[in-house]
Structure 1
Amino acid sequence: MKALGQYDDIAVIQKILNGEFELFELLIRRYNSFLYKTGRSYNYNHQDTQDLMQDTYIDAYASLKKFENRSSFKTWLIKIMLHNCFRKQQKFSFKNEVSNEIIDKSIPMFQQEQNTDAGKTVINRELNTVIENALQQVPLDYRLVFSLREMNGLNVIETAAALNISETNVKVRLNRAKTMLRKEIEKTYTATDIFEFNLVYCNAITNSVMDKIKNYTPVSTL
Protein backbone atom coordinates (compact mmCIF):
# COMPACT_ATOMS: atom_id res chain seq x y z
CA MET A 1 0.00 0.00 0.00
CA LYS A 2 2.87 2.39 0.80
CA ALA A 3 4.36 1.87 -2.65
CA LEU A 4 1.07 2.93 -4.20
CA GLY A 5 1.29 6.28 -2.45
CA GLN A 6 3.27 7.59 -5.42
CA TYR A 7 0.21 7.31 -7.68
CA ASP A 8 -1.85 10.45 -8.17
CA ASP A 9 -5.59 10.47 -7.51
CA ILE A 10 -6.56 9.76 -11.12
CA ALA A 11 -4.33 6.69 -11.30
CA VAL A 12 -5.71 5.37 -8.02
CA ILE A 13 -9.29 5.98 -9.13
CA GLN A 14 -8.65 4.16 -12.38
CA LYS A 15 -7.41 1.13 -10.47
CA ILE A 16 -10.42 1.22 -8.18
CA LEU A 17 -12.78 1.39 -11.14
CA ASN A 18 -10.97 -1.62 -12.59
CA GLY A 19 -11.85 -3.66 -9.52
CA GLU A 20 -9.16 -2.91 -6.92
CA PHE A 21 -11.63 -1.46 -4.43
CA GLU A 22 -9.21 -1.86 -1.52
CA LEU A 23 -7.16 1.03 -2.93
CA PHE A 24 -9.95 3.39 -1.90
CA GLU A 25 -8.17 3.36 1.46
CA LEU A 26 -5.43 5.50 -0.10
CA LEU A 27 -7.93 8.22 -0.96
CA ILE A 28 -9.47 8.11 2.49
CA ARG A 29 -6.11 8.56 4.19
CA ARG A 30 -5.14 11.36 1.81
CA TYR A 31 -8.21 13.43 2.51
CA ASN A 32 -9.30 12.63 6.07
CA SER A 33 -7.78 15.81 7.47
CA PHE A 34 -9.33 17.98 4.76
CA LEU A 35 -12.83 16.64 5.33
CA TYR A 36 -12.41 16.85 9.09
CA LYS A 37 -11.46 20.52 8.94
CA THR A 38 -14.38 21.18 6.61
CA GLY A 39 -16.90 19.54 8.93
CA ARG A 40 -15.57 21.28 12.04
CA SER A 41 -15.58 24.61 10.22
CA TYR A 42 -19.25 23.97 9.54
CA ASN A 43 -19.65 23.96 13.33
CA TYR A 44 -20.22 20.24 13.77
CA ASN A 45 -18.65 18.50 16.75
CA HIS A 46 -16.04 15.76 16.49
CA GLN A 47 -18.46 12.83 16.34
CA ASP A 48 -20.88 14.45 13.90
CA THR A 49 -17.96 15.41 11.67
CA GLN A 50 -16.70 11.84 11.62
CA ASP A 51 -20.20 10.60 10.71
CA LEU A 52 -20.36 13.13 7.88
CA MET A 53 -16.92 12.10 6.66
CA GLN A 54 -17.98 8.47 6.57
CA ASP A 55 -21.13 9.33 4.62
CA THR A 56 -19.07 11.44 2.23
CA TYR A 57 -16.59 8.66 1.49
CA ILE A 58 -19.37 6.15 0.91
CA ASP A 59 -21.18 8.59 -1.39
CA ALA A 60 -17.94 9.23 -3.27
CA TYR A 61 -17.23 5.53 -3.69
CA ALA A 62 -20.76 4.85 -4.92
CA SER A 63 -20.45 7.67 -7.47
CA LEU A 64 -16.80 7.24 -8.37
CA LYS A 65 -17.46 6.28 -11.98
CA LYS A 66 -19.24 9.65 -12.37
CA PHE A 67 -16.11 11.61 -11.47
CA GLU A 68 -15.16 13.35 -14.72
CA ASN A 69 -11.92 15.03 -13.62
CA ARG A 70 -13.29 18.48 -14.43
CA SER A 71 -11.97 19.61 -11.05
CA SER A 72 -9.50 17.93 -8.73
CA PHE A 73 -10.69 14.88 -6.82
CA LYS A 74 -10.09 16.84 -3.60
CA THR A 75 -12.47 19.58 -4.74
CA TRP A 76 -15.06 17.02 -5.84
CA LEU A 77 -14.83 15.22 -2.50
CA ILE A 78 -15.09 18.42 -0.47
CA LYS A 79 -18.19 19.41 -2.46
CA ILE A 80 -19.81 16.13 -1.45
CA MET A 81 -18.84 16.82 2.17
CA LEU A 82 -20.30 20.31 1.99
CA HIS A 83 -23.51 18.95 0.51
CA ASN A 84 -23.80 16.48 3.36
CA CYS A 85 -23.13 19.23 5.90
CA PHE A 86 -25.84 21.34 4.29
CA ARG A 87 -28.30 18.48 4.23
CA LYS A 88 -27.68 17.78 7.91
CA GLN A 89 -27.99 21.37 8.96
CA GLN A 90 -31.05 22.03 6.76
CA LYS A 91 -29.90 25.48 5.90
CA PHE A 92 -27.24 26.86 3.63
CA SER A 93 -27.39 30.38 2.26
CA PHE A 94 -24.85 32.86 1.04
CA LYS A 95 -25.41 36.53 0.32
CA ASN A 96 -23.85 37.88 -2.82
CA GLU A 97 -21.07 40.25 -1.98
CA VAL A 98 -19.69 42.87 -4.27
CA SER A 99 -16.26 44.44 -4.19
CA ASN A 100 -15.04 47.18 -6.48
CA GLU A 101 -11.47 45.93 -6.48
CA ILE A 102 -10.08 42.75 -5.03
CA ILE A 103 -6.37 42.01 -5.29
CA ASP A 104 -5.54 38.50 -4.12
CA LYS A 105 -1.98 38.95 -2.91
CA SER A 106 -2.73 37.40 0.44
CA ILE A 107 -0.11 35.38 2.26
CA PRO A 108 -1.36 32.34 4.20
CA MET A 109 -1.84 33.20 7.84
CA PHE A 110 -0.39 29.88 8.89
CA GLN A 111 3.22 29.35 7.91
CA GLN A 112 4.48 25.81 8.41
CA GLU A 113 7.97 26.97 9.32
CA GLN A 114 6.72 29.06 12.23
CA ASN A 115 6.22 27.96 15.82
CA THR A 116 8.26 24.76 15.72
CA ASP A 117 9.44 25.18 19.30
CA ALA A 118 8.43 22.14 21.38
CA GLY A 119 7.13 24.29 24.22
CA LYS A 120 4.88 26.23 21.90
CA THR A 121 3.62 22.97 20.40
CA VAL A 122 2.49 21.82 23.84
CA ILE A 123 0.83 25.14 24.52
CA ASN A 124 -0.88 25.09 21.15
CA ARG A 125 -2.29 21.65 21.82
CA GLU A 126 -3.61 22.75 25.19
CA LEU A 127 -5.24 25.81 23.66
CA ASN A 128 -6.86 24.07 20.70
CA THR A 129 -10.27 24.57 22.28
CA VAL A 130 -9.67 28.31 22.51
CA ILE A 131 -8.71 28.45 18.84
CA GLU A 132 -11.67 26.36 17.74
CA ASN A 133 -14.03 28.59 19.71
CA ALA A 134 -12.50 31.70 18.16
CA LEU A 135 -12.98 30.34 14.66
CA GLN A 136 -16.57 29.37 15.41
CA GLN A 137 -17.33 33.03 16.07
CA VAL A 138 -16.70 33.81 12.43
CA PRO A 139 -19.89 33.62 10.30
CA LEU A 140 -20.26 30.35 8.42
CA ASP A 141 -19.76 31.69 4.89
CA TYR A 142 -16.45 33.32 5.85
CA ARG A 143 -15.41 30.39 8.03
CA LEU A 144 -15.81 27.92 5.17
CA VAL A 145 -13.73 30.01 2.78
CA PHE A 146 -11.07 30.42 5.45
CA SER A 147 -11.02 26.67 6.07
CA LEU A 148 -10.75 25.72 2.41
CA ARG A 149 -8.15 28.35 1.52
CA GLU A 150 -5.99 28.58 4.64
CA MET A 151 -6.36 25.17 6.26
CA ASN A 152 -7.09 22.84 3.34
CA GLY A 153 -4.83 24.59 0.85
CA LEU A 154 -7.34 25.01 -2.00
CA ASN A 155 -6.67 27.84 -4.42
CA VAL A 156 -9.23 30.51 -5.32
CA ILE A 157 -10.60 28.60 -8.30
CA GLU A 158 -10.97 25.36 -6.36
CA THR A 159 -12.63 27.12 -3.44
CA ALA A 160 -15.09 28.88 -5.72
CA ALA A 161 -15.93 25.57 -7.37
CA ALA A 162 -16.38 23.80 -4.03
CA LEU A 163 -18.72 26.47 -2.65
CA ASN A 164 -20.44 27.42 -5.92
CA ILE A 165 -19.58 31.09 -5.52
CA SER A 166 -17.56 33.51 -7.62
CA GLU A 167 -13.81 33.89 -7.33
CA THR A 168 -14.40 37.49 -6.28
CA ASN A 169 -16.57 36.33 -3.39
CA VAL A 170 -13.86 33.90 -2.34
CA LYS A 171 -11.35 36.73 -2.13
CA VAL A 172 -13.76 39.03 -0.29
CA ARG A 173 -14.69 36.44 2.27
CA LEU A 174 -11.13 35.34 2.85
CA ASN A 175 -10.02 38.91 3.49
CA ARG A 176 -12.88 39.49 5.91
CA ALA A 177 -12.29 36.20 7.70
CA LYS A 178 -8.62 37.08 8.15
CA THR A 179 -9.54 40.46 9.56
CA MET A 180 -11.78 38.77 12.13
CA LEU A 181 -9.14 36.24 13.17
CA ARG A 182 -5.77 37.86 12.63
CA LYS A 183 -5.28 39.55 16.02
CA GLU A 184 -6.15 36.36 17.90
CA ILE A 185 -4.25 33.66 16.08
CA GLU A 186 -1.87 34.88 13.40
CA LYS A 187 1.29 35.03 15.51
CA THR A 188 0.73 31.89 17.57
CA TYR A 189 -0.98 29.05 15.76
CA THR A 190 -0.23 26.91 12.73
CA ALA A 191 -2.81 25.23 10.54
CA THR A 192 -1.95 21.79 11.95
CA ASP A 193 -2.79 22.95 15.48
CA ILE A 194 -6.40 23.67 14.56
CA PHE A 195 -8.93 20.84 14.40
CA GLU A 196 -6.15 18.27 14.47
CA PHE A 197 -7.26 14.88 13.15
CA ASN A 198 -4.65 12.51 14.49
CA LEU A 199 -3.66 9.01 13.46
CA VAL A 200 -5.95 7.12 15.85
CA TYR A 201 -9.04 8.80 14.39
CA CYS A 202 -7.69 8.48 10.85
CA ASN A 203 -7.29 4.72 11.26
CA ALA A 204 -10.71 4.31 12.83
CA ILE A 205 -12.65 6.11 10.10
CA THR A 206 -10.59 4.48 7.35
CA ASN A 207 -11.34 1.01 8.68
CA SER A 208 -15.01 1.85 9.19
CA VAL A 209 -15.48 3.13 5.64
CA MET A 210 -13.61 0.21 4.10
CA ASP A 211 -15.76 -2.26 6.04
CA LYS A 212 -18.94 -0.58 4.81
CA ILE A 213 -18.05 -0.32 1.13
CA LYS A 214 -17.38 -4.07 1.06
CA ASN A 215 -21.16 -4.42 1.17
CA TYR A 216 -21.64 -2.21 -1.87
CA THR A 217 -21.91 -3.55 -5.37
CA PRO A 218 -18.44 -3.26 -6.94
CA VAL A 219 -17.96 -0.07 -8.92
CA SER A 220 -18.50 -0.60 -12.64
CA THR A 221 -15.45 -0.85 -14.86
CA LEU A 222 -14.96 2.02 -17.31
Structure 2
Amino acid sequence: MILEEQVIIERIISGEKEFYELLVRRYNQTLYRVIKGFISDDSDIEEIMQISYVKAFEKLSTFNMKSKFSTWLIRIAINESLQFNKKSVKYRSINYSDIGYSDNSLKNPEQLLIMNESTQIYEQAISELDPIYKSVFILREIDLMSIKDISESLEISESNVKVRLHRAKVQIKEILYHNQNRENIFEFGNHRCDNMVANVMKSV
Protein backbone atom coordinates (compact mmCIF):
# COMPACT_ATOMS: atom_id res chain seq x y z
CA MET A 1 0.00 0.00 0.00
CA ILE A 2 1.36 3.44 -0.90
CA LEU A 3 2.45 5.56 2.05
CA GLU A 4 0.06 8.39 1.22
CA GLU A 5 -2.90 6.05 1.55
CA GLN A 6 -1.64 4.65 4.83
CA VAL A 7 -1.36 8.18 6.22
CA ILE A 8 -4.88 8.98 5.05
CA ILE A 9 -6.28 5.87 6.75
CA GLU A 10 -4.40 6.59 9.97
CA ARG A 11 -5.81 10.12 10.06
CA ILE A 12 -9.35 8.82 9.47
CA ILE A 13 -8.97 6.30 12.29
CA SER A 14 -7.67 9.06 14.56
CA GLY A 15 -10.93 10.93 14.06
CA GLU A 16 -10.42 13.07 10.96
CA LYS A 17 -13.20 11.45 8.98
CA GLU A 18 -13.20 14.21 6.36
CA PHE A 19 -10.17 12.46 4.86
CA TYR A 20 -12.42 9.54 3.95
CA GLU A 21 -13.67 11.64 1.04
CA LEU A 22 -10.25 11.19 -0.60
CA LEU A 23 -10.65 7.41 -0.57
CA VAL A 24 -14.24 7.54 -1.80
CA ARG A 25 -13.27 9.71 -4.77
CA ARG A 26 -10.22 7.54 -5.47
CA TYR A 27 -12.16 4.29 -5.65
CA ASN A 28 -15.58 5.34 -6.97
CA GLN A 29 -14.75 4.27 -10.53
CA THR A 30 -13.26 0.92 -9.50
CA LEU A 31 -16.04 0.08 -7.09
CA TYR A 32 -18.71 0.95 -9.65
CA ARG A 33 -17.14 -1.35 -12.20
CA VAL A 34 -16.72 -4.17 -9.70
CA ILE A 35 -20.35 -4.07 -8.59
CA LYS A 36 -21.44 -3.72 -12.22
CA GLY A 37 -20.10 -7.24 -12.64
CA PHE A 38 -22.82 -8.52 -10.31
CA ILE A 39 -25.71 -6.04 -10.57
CA SER A 40 -27.08 -4.34 -13.69
CA ASP A 41 -29.37 -1.63 -12.33
CA ASP A 42 -27.48 1.64 -11.71
CA SER A 43 -29.61 2.72 -8.74
CA ASP A 44 -28.95 -0.64 -7.05
CA ILE A 45 -25.25 -0.34 -7.83
CA GLU A 46 -25.05 3.08 -6.18
CA GLU A 47 -26.90 1.74 -3.14
CA ILE A 48 -24.38 -1.11 -2.79
CA MET A 49 -21.50 1.31 -3.30
CA GLN A 50 -22.70 3.48 -0.44
CA ILE A 51 -23.31 0.50 1.84
CA SER A 52 -19.83 -0.83 1.05
CA TYR A 53 -18.14 2.49 1.76
CA VAL A 54 -19.98 2.89 5.07
CA LYS A 55 -19.12 -0.66 6.16
CA ALA A 56 -15.49 -0.11 5.23
CA PHE A 57 -15.45 3.10 7.25
CA GLU A 58 -17.00 1.40 10.28
CA LYS A 59 -14.45 -1.44 10.10
CA LEU A 60 -11.46 0.70 9.16
CA SER A 61 -9.79 0.20 12.53
CA THR A 62 -9.59 -3.55 11.78
CA PHE A 63 -7.91 -3.04 8.40
CA ASN A 64 -4.48 -4.62 8.07
CA MET A 65 -2.13 -1.88 6.88
CA LYS A 66 0.10 -4.48 5.18
CA SER A 67 -2.69 -5.22 2.71
CA LYS A 68 -4.06 -3.09 -0.13
CA PHE A 69 -7.04 -0.99 0.87
CA SER A 70 -8.50 -1.42 -2.63
CA THR A 71 -8.45 -5.22 -2.32
CA TRP A 72 -10.14 -5.05 1.09
CA LEU A 73 -12.77 -2.58 -0.15
CA ILE A 74 -13.51 -4.64 -3.26
CA ARG A 75 -14.03 -7.75 -1.14
CA ILE A 76 -16.57 -5.88 0.98
CA ALA A 77 -18.35 -4.67 -2.17
CA ILE A 78 -18.46 -8.15 -3.66
CA ASN A 79 -19.91 -9.63 -0.47
CA GLU A 80 -22.56 -6.92 -0.38
CA SER A 81 -23.37 -7.53 -4.05
CA LEU A 82 -23.82 -11.24 -3.47
CA GLN A 83 -26.02 -10.61 -0.45
CA PHE A 84 -28.10 -8.17 -2.46
CA ASN A 85 -28.61 -10.71 -5.23
CA LYS A 86 -29.79 -13.33 -2.76
CA LYS A 87 -32.40 -10.97 -1.37
CA SER A 88 -33.49 -9.24 -4.56
CA VAL A 89 -36.35 -10.61 -6.65
CA LYS A 90 -34.96 -8.57 -9.56
CA TYR A 91 -31.91 -10.80 -9.87
CA ARG A 92 -31.89 -13.22 -12.77
CA SER A 93 -29.37 -15.31 -14.67
CA ILE A 94 -28.05 -13.76 -17.85
CA ASN A 95 -28.03 -15.63 -21.16
CA TYR A 96 -24.63 -15.19 -22.80
CA SER A 97 -24.61 -18.10 -25.24
CA ASP A 98 -24.60 -15.98 -28.42
CA ILE A 99 -21.46 -13.95 -27.75
CA GLY A 100 -18.36 -14.79 -29.80
CA TYR A 101 -14.69 -13.80 -29.80
CA SER A 102 -11.96 -13.22 -32.35
CA ASP A 103 -8.21 -13.37 -31.80
CA ASN A 104 -7.46 -10.98 -34.69
CA SER A 105 -6.98 -7.98 -32.39
CA LEU A 106 -9.67 -6.00 -34.24
CA LYS A 107 -7.44 -5.52 -37.31
CA ASN A 108 -10.44 -5.60 -39.66
CA PRO A 109 -11.40 -1.99 -40.65
CA GLU A 110 -15.07 -2.80 -40.18
CA GLN A 111 -14.36 -3.95 -36.64
CA LEU A 112 -12.39 -0.76 -35.96
CA LEU A 113 -15.30 1.32 -37.21
CA ILE A 114 -17.67 -0.48 -34.87
CA MET A 115 -15.20 0.02 -32.02
CA ASN A 116 -15.03 3.77 -32.61
CA GLU A 117 -18.78 4.27 -33.00
CA SER A 118 -19.74 3.87 -29.39
CA THR A 119 -18.55 2.28 -26.19
CA GLN A 120 -22.16 1.22 -25.60
CA ILE A 121 -21.54 -1.75 -27.89
CA TYR A 122 -18.88 -3.05 -25.54
CA GLU A 123 -20.80 -2.25 -22.39
CA GLN A 124 -23.68 -4.30 -23.74
CA ALA A 125 -21.41 -7.22 -24.63
CA ILE A 126 -19.84 -7.19 -21.19
CA SER A 127 -23.24 -6.89 -19.52
CA GLU A 128 -24.30 -10.15 -21.16
CA LEU A 129 -21.51 -12.10 -19.51
CA ASP A 130 -22.35 -14.41 -16.67
CA PRO A 131 -21.49 -12.63 -13.37
CA ILE A 132 -18.86 -15.25 -12.48
CA TYR A 133 -16.88 -14.22 -15.57
CA LYS A 134 -17.95 -10.59 -15.82
CA SER A 135 -16.34 -9.53 -12.56
CA VAL A 136 -12.97 -11.02 -13.52
CA PHE A 137 -13.11 -9.51 -17.02
CA ILE A 138 -13.92 -6.02 -15.74
CA LEU A 139 -11.22 -6.07 -13.06
CA ARG A 140 -8.54 -7.34 -15.43
CA GLU A 141 -9.33 -5.86 -18.85
CA ILE A 142 -10.93 -2.54 -17.86
CA ASP A 143 -9.56 -1.74 -14.39
CA LEU A 144 -6.21 -3.39 -15.23
CA MET A 145 -5.85 -5.12 -11.87
CA SER A 146 -3.19 -7.80 -11.57
CA ILE A 147 -4.12 -11.49 -11.49
CA LYS A 148 -2.81 -11.62 -7.93
CA ASP A 149 -4.97 -8.70 -6.76
CA ILE A 150 -8.05 -10.16 -8.46
CA SER A 151 -7.34 -13.49 -6.81
CA GLU A 152 -7.18 -11.84 -3.40
CA SER A 153 -10.26 -9.70 -4.01
CA LEU A 154 -12.45 -12.56 -5.21
CA GLU A 155 -10.83 -15.10 -2.87
CA ILE A 156 -10.14 -17.58 -5.67
CA SER A 157 -6.87 -19.04 -6.97
CA GLU A 158 -4.80 -17.26 -9.59
CA SER A 159 -5.30 -20.20 -11.97
CA ASN A 160 -9.06 -19.88 -11.49
CA VAL A 161 -8.82 -16.18 -12.33
CA LYS A 162 -7.04 -17.04 -15.59
CA VAL A 163 -9.63 -19.68 -16.49
CA ARG A 164 -12.53 -17.30 -15.87
CA LEU A 165 -10.80 -14.55 -17.83
CA HIS A 166 -10.29 -16.86 -20.80
CA ARG A 167 -13.92 -17.99 -20.73
CA ALA A 168 -15.06 -14.37 -20.51
CA LYS A 169 -13.04 -13.48 -23.61
CA VAL A 170 -14.50 -16.41 -25.49
CA GLN A 171 -17.96 -15.01 -24.80
CA ILE A 172 -17.20 -11.43 -25.79
CA LYS A 173 -17.80 -10.55 -29.44
CA GLU A 174 -15.29 -7.73 -29.47
CA ILE A 175 -12.45 -7.21 -26.98
CA LEU A 176 -10.97 -3.79 -26.36
CA TYR A 177 -7.24 -3.89 -27.00
CA HIS A 178 -4.53 -1.50 -25.89
CA ASN A 179 -6.17 1.48 -24.13
CA GLN A 180 -8.78 2.60 -26.66
CA ASN A 181 -11.99 3.82 -24.98
CA ARG A 182 -11.22 1.80 -21.87
CA GLU A 183 -11.61 4.73 -19.47
CA ASN A 184 -15.06 5.52 -20.85
CA ILE A 185 -16.50 2.08 -20.20
CA PHE A 186 -18.86 1.91 -17.23
CA GLU A 187 -17.95 5.44 -16.22
CA PHE A 188 -18.85 6.72 -12.79
CA GLY A 189 -17.81 10.32 -12.74
CA ASN A 190 -18.76 13.98 -12.55
CA HIS A 191 -22.01 14.61 -10.64
CA ARG A 192 -22.52 10.90 -9.88
CA CYS A 193 -19.11 10.77 -8.23
CA ASP A 194 -19.87 13.95 -6.29
CA ASN A 195 -23.27 12.63 -5.16
CA MET A 196 -21.71 9.37 -3.95
CA VAL A 197 -19.07 11.30 -1.98
CA ALA A 198 -21.75 13.52 -0.40
CA ASN A 199 -23.97 10.57 0.53
CA VAL A 200 -21.12 8.53 2.00
CA MET A 201 -19.75 11.43 4.02
CA LYS A 202 -23.25 12.08 5.46
CA SER A 203 -23.50 8.45 6.52
CA VAL A 204 -20.11 7.99 8.19
TM-score interval, smaller chain: 0.7 to 0.9
Tell me what 2:141 maps to: 150
Tell me what 1:186 maps to: 176
Tell me what 1:72 maps to: 68
Aligned residue among 134, 159, 175 for 2:166: 175
Aligned 8 A contact 2:148 2:158 in 1: yes
Aligned 8 A contact 2:34 2:135 in 1: yes
Q: Quote the Cα distance in structure 2 between the aligned partners of 1:8 and 1:176.
A: 37
Q: Which segments of 5 or more consecutive residues in structure 1 lack a partner in the other structure? A: 1-5, 92-108, 110-119, 214-222
Aligned residue among 31, 38, 55 for 2:27: 31
Q: Would you say 1:160 and 2:156 are equivalent positions?
A: no
Tell me what 2:203 maps to: 212
Aligned residue among 44, 50, 53 for 2:46: 50
Q: TM-score normalized by structure 1?
A: 0.73
Aligned residue among 12, 19, 22 for 2:15: 19
Aligned to 2:186, the other structure's residue is in SS state coil
Tell me what 2:84 maps to: 88
Q: TM-score normalized by structure 2?
A: 0.79
Alignment RMSD: 2.1
Q: Which segments of 5 or more consecutive residues in structure 2 lack a partner in the other structure? A: 88-104, 106-115
Q: Deviations over 1:175-213 (max 9, x none)?
A: 2212222x4243695321211112110000101110111
Q: Quote the Cα distance in structure 2 between the aligned partners of 1:67 and 1:142.
A: 28
- Deviation (angstroms), 1:39: 1.3
Q: Deviations over 1:139-173 (max 9, x none)?
A: 21111111111222221111111111101001111
Q: Quote the Cα distance in structure 2 between the aligned partners of 1:79 and 1:64.
A: 14
Aligned to 1:192, the other structure's residue is in SS state helix
Q: Deviations over 1:67-103 (max 9, x none)?
A: 0134210000000000000000018xxxxxxxxxxxx
Q: Quote the Cα distance in structure 2 between the aligned partners of 1:155 and 1:21.
A: 30
Letter in 1 for 2:79: H
Structure 1 residues 200 and 7, CA, compared in 2 at 3 Å: closer, same or farther?
A: farther
Q: Deviations over 1:32-70 (max 9, x none)?
A: 000101111213311111000000000000000000134
Q: Quote the Cα distance in structure 2 between the aligned partners of 1:163 and 1:212.
A: 26
Which stretches of structure 1, 4 residues or longer, exceed 3 Å deviation after superposition? none
Aligned 8 A contact 2:25 2:197 in 1: yes
Letter in 2 for 1:172: V
Q: Would you say 1:199 and 2:195 are equivalent positions?
A: no
The aligned length equals 175
Aligned 8 A contact 2:39 2:81 in 1: no
Aligned 8 A contact 1:43 1:136 in 2: no
Aligned to 1:184, the other structure's residue is in SS state coil
Aligned 8 A contact 2:176 2:182 in 1: no
Aligned to 2:174, the other structure's residue is in SS state helix
